[in-house]
Amino acid sequence: MRIRYIAQLGALIALVMASIGMVSADVELRQTRDFANQGAQEQQAGRAMLLMFSGEGCRFCTVVEEDFLKPMMRSGDYDELVSMHKVHLSSRTRLTDFDGQPTSGRELAERYGVFVMPTVVFVDGQGQEVAERRVGLMTEAYYGGYLDDSIREALRNIRQHEQVSAR
């Protein structure tokens, strides 16, 4: 009887915590395979794309993902601004580049000149870099602000390009 009561109490506490936002569903960075298709979707939606280049066993990559990017995704505040993607340099999975050509995570990293992990690159729907990249894990106290700055810069540049193209 006591065990059943404790289980019910635990379930009630979890329900209350979820309803007030203390517990949320886990989120994952997209491991996109077709950047041409994804880029077209993001371009149509007017969103920037954040590409986090990561490697096997990279502890700083884990910190960026778990302590910054996933909480940003959970908040919902970035859903209309940016889509977040993880590119594994060591993955053997074949990808489709923004130009429709086959590529790999390592080849994508070479294309963007990524040599340090984590590197976060901000691109438009055509794969063009549109904001200051974030290389390594700088001072953690400011890193979230640096990401926000780059997202704002990316959106500003994307919107300026759209206005020029519309003329």
Domain ranges of the chain: 26-166
**Tell me, what amino acid is at 71?**
P
Model confidence, pTM: 0.83
- Domain spanning 26-166: CATH 3.40.30.10: yes
Res 129: pLDDT: 98
Closest CA to 123 of 137, 136, 108: 108
Q: Environment class of residue 39 by beta-carbon count within 10 Å: exposed (0-12), middle (13-18) or buried (19+)?
A: buried
Confirm if 96 and 102 have CB atoms less than 8 A apart.
yes
Res 5: pLDDT: 46
Walking along the chain (167 residues) 10 residues at a time, the average pLDDT comes out as 47 46 73 96 96 96 97 97 96 94 96 96 98 94 97 96 73
Res 163: pLDDT: 74
Q: How far is the C-alpha of 159 from the C-alpha of 70, rounded, in Å? A: 25
Query: Which two tokens mark 130?
Result: 């549109």
